[in-house]
Structure 1
Amino acid sequence: MENIGEGDMTRKEYSAGAVKRSFWFAEFRKVVNLLNSGKTLNEIKTLNLEENIFSAPTQARAIQIFNAVSSRVKNIDKSFYQLFERCDIANQKIIVLTAVMQSDSLFFDFIYEVYREKLIIGDNELTDRDFSIFFKNKQLQSEKVASWTDYTLKRLSTCYKTMLMEAGIINRAIGNRKILKPILDKSLENCLLANRMEITLHALTGVR
């Protein structure tokens, strides 16, 4: 698969599916709470159809949210579910961000190659140019990304910015997009390390 040979995730084919998705923090929390209370994903799927647990405007949207959130949940180890309940909101958002990274290789690469690099060199702003350079590089590396339209790439950029803002690691209110280095709870660091996710930890904290 394309690029980074990280040992902590199964590489998936690059996808532009993120344009249809949101961060869905509250929905992720609801699924994890239900899993922790003993429900299975299949039971939650049924519950979603019968009771609209995400308060989605249409059933199609409810199904889309469940499919995306359940995929994220399945892409992290179960040890994160119990930890999620014990963390503060800032660290809960980092767990959701980690789940998004694990389920979307292109988004993972953006965090690792752009966000992490900014933290390392002490550049605390994320600019539109950073996004455009990232996608241009990916178009050179991947025929699939090269086939996407400028419109798709623009939508992906917008989606990534929104995800990062909702995850609490950039702030639009301060001038340009200011990078906010996350302060990870020690228990979250330990959970990442226990699951051989050092590269994810490095990506989030700016480590070579």
Structure 2
Amino acid sequence: MPKKEYSAGMTKFSFWFSEFKKMVQLQDRGKSLDDIKQMNLAENIFSATTPKRASQIFNAVSTRIKSLDPTFYTVFNQSDIANQKIIVLIAIMETDSLFFDFVYEVYREKLIIGMAELADSDLSIFFKNKQLQSEKVAKWTDHTLKTLGKSYKTVLTEAGAIDRSKGNRKILKPILDRSLEDCLVQNGMAVTLHALTGVR
């Protein structure tokens, strides 16, 4: 699959775990994405504040759902909450190339060398490097990059990949179920498994 163009879209998006879970459950009951789209418009099933936000949530979450092979849905329904959150994180990585690169190049490297904290400077260095590599990223404002970095930290925290309970951002190596590891490998996503578990 060709790599998607870098985007700052995550500044508008959230982790949306409960929304992802609801959509997977509705599909498991036989609802199509079109059915869920209509339910969302008619019933506001995601409790969005405005119709525009409801559509935005559906579009983002359905894109994440479609990015994964259906075998992930089976694993999702059989997993504990910790692994379900990791599956949502994987879906976000699949739909956002820049965030994927951050997890692979920064988070993974921290796991490999045993550094226990994610610092703001890690984000700054990552974005500066990407500005050198990408004309598109080079045009983004400092405000956009700061907001994007905040979004990355929030997503990783909600996924259980970093912990802020003691003030700093402690990196937590995810413990993936064997079924999820197997699903990643079988779908040609070993690089994603390595990114999350700190493997060279």
> TM class, shorter-chain normalised?
over 0.9
For residues 10 and 73 of structure 1, do their structure 2 counterparts lie closer, same or farther at Cα, with a shift above 3 Å needed? farther
Superposition map of 1:174-189 within 5 A: 174-189=166-181
Deviations along 1:50-79, whole A, 9 cap, x unmatched? Answer: 110001111111000000000000101011
1:101 equivalent in structure 2: 93
Runs (4 or more) in structure 1 with deviation over 3 Å come to none
1:133 equivalent in structure 2: 125
Deviations along 1:105-161, whole A, 9 cap, x unmatched? Answer: 000000000000000000010000000000000000000000000000000000000
Offset, 1:10: 3.5
1:165 equivalent in structure 2: 157
Opposite residue 143 of structure 2, the aligned amino acid is Y
Q: Does 1:73 align with 2:65?
A: yes
SS at match of 1:168: coil
* Of 107, 111, 116, the match for 1:124: 116
2:189 equivalent in structure 1: 197
Distance 2:30 2:71 in 1: 14
Distance 2:195 2:187 in 1: 15
Offset, 1:175: 3.6
Q: Does 1:48 align with 2:28?
A: no
Offset, 1:37: 1.0
- The number of aligned residues is 200
Offset, 1:173: 1.3
Q: Does 1:61 align with 2:53?
A: yes
Distance 2:183 2:10 in 1: 26
Q: TM-score, normalised by structure 2?
A: 0.99
Q: Does 1:22 align with 2:7?
A: no
Distance 1:189 1:36 in 2: 22
Residue identity (%): 69
Query: Structure 2 regions of 5+ residues with no counterpart?
Result: none
Distance 2:35 2:124 in 1: 42
Q: TM-score, normalised by structure 1?
A: 0.95
Distance 1:178 1:148 in 2: 28
SS at match of 2:3: coil
Query: Structure 1 regions of 5+ residues with no counterpart?
Result: 1-8
SS at match of 2:170: strand
Distance 2:138 2:45 in 1: 38
RMSD: 0.7
Distance 1:15 1:149 in 2: 13
1:13 equivalent in structure 2: 5
